[in-house]
């Protein structure tokens, strides 16, 4: 097997996931939150592909492809929402979008 071992890939995946979580939790701009979500999804993809390589089976790669498809759809909806918010002159700050408070 060429290149670095699978644990390295997993380590990077964990790092990317943590960065994503930190982004979602700490940033207030919805655009950045969306971006962080993408990072988390892609970290998962990396883990999938890594395990796929480890076990020599294609399941992980297929999963990664489906995650990409779902991610694309999710971005469409997310960006659409943000554009709609901008059009209505809402403040783009997730901490102040609290209309749904119970």
Point out which residues bind other proteins (CB under 8 A): 21, 24-25, 28, 33, 94-95, 97-102
Q: Indicate the residue among 2 and 25 with the shorter CB distance to other proteins.
A: 25
3-state secondary structure of 53: helix
Closer of 32 and 53 to other proteins (Cβ): 32
Task: Report in angstroms how near the CB of residue 102 gets to other proteins at its nearest.
Answer: 3
Residue closer to other proteins by CB (options 4, 18) is 18
**Distance separating alpha carbons of residues 62 and 77, to the nearest angstrom:** 23
Q: How far apart are CA 61 and CA 40, in angstroms?
A: 17
Query: Which value, to the nearest 10 degrees, does the dihedral of the CA atoms of residues 52, 56, 59, 60 take?
Result: 0
Smallest distance from other proteins to CB 23, Å = 10
Residues in Cβ contact with 65 at an 8 Å cutoff, skipping those fewer than 6 apart: none
C-beta of 4: minimal distance to other proteins in Å?
25
């Amino acid at each position: 097997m060429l290149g670095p071992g699978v644990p390295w890939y997993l380590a990077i995946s964990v790092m990317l996931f943590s960065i994503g979580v930190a982004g979602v939790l700490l940033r207030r701009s919805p655009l950045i939150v969306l971006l962080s979500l993408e990072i988390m999804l892609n970290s998962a993809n990396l883990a999938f592909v890594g395990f796929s390589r480890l076990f020599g089976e294609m399941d992980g790669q297929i999963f990664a492809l489906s995650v990409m498809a779902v991610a694309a759809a999710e971005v469409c909806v997310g960006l659409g929402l943000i554009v709609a918010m901008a059009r209505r002159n809402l403040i783009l700050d997730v901490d102040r979008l609290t209309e749904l408070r119970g």
